[in-house]
Amino acid sequence: MSKRTFTMIKPDATAKGNTGAILSMINAAGFRIVAMKMLHLSAEKAGEFYGVHRERPFFGELVEFMSQGPITAAILEKDNAVEDFRKLIGATNPAQAAEGTIRKLYAASIGENAVHGSDSNENALIEGDFFFSKLEQF
């Protein structure tokens, strides 16, 4: 069972002042924050992070959006973290997200969808290490 996942509170949620409310939902769902920082991604870094989507038609839009303002990056710990966190955030498109999920509550569209959640244990490790040195992971 995986213990850790990685998340970002995206620029749309930061701009709307939803960071605190989203962190509260994350804690209330039983996740422990074991690393956290606020930063503004360059377009280059945003493109590197989402490199797997480089050939997709929405890649340019995604990079522009993710570098438009500050994000909060965090590593979260809980049993079954990756799968449980994907359930908490809801579907990529908020129109399809279940009631009570973070995206249902705070996302405006499939592009501006408030939060990121790792999709596998392997990617959770890669993504956490992208933002945090070992000294910053508790």
Cite the active site residues. Answer: 116
Distance between CA atoms of 131 and 74, rounded to whole angstroms? 9
Q: Which residue is nearest to ligand ATP (CB)?
A: 92
Distance between CA atoms of 36 and 76, rounded to whole angstroms? 9
Q: Which does 87 bind (CB under 5 to 8 A by kind): ligand ATP, Mg ion, none?
A: none
- Using CB under 5 A as the criterion, what x/- string covers residues 62-101 for binding Mg ion? ----------------------------------------
Which of 92/134 has CB closer to ligand ATP? Answer: 92
Subset of 108-127 contacting Mg ion (CB under 5 A): 119
Binding site for ligand ATP (CB under 6 A): 53, 58, 61-62, 92, 110-111, 113, 116-117, 119
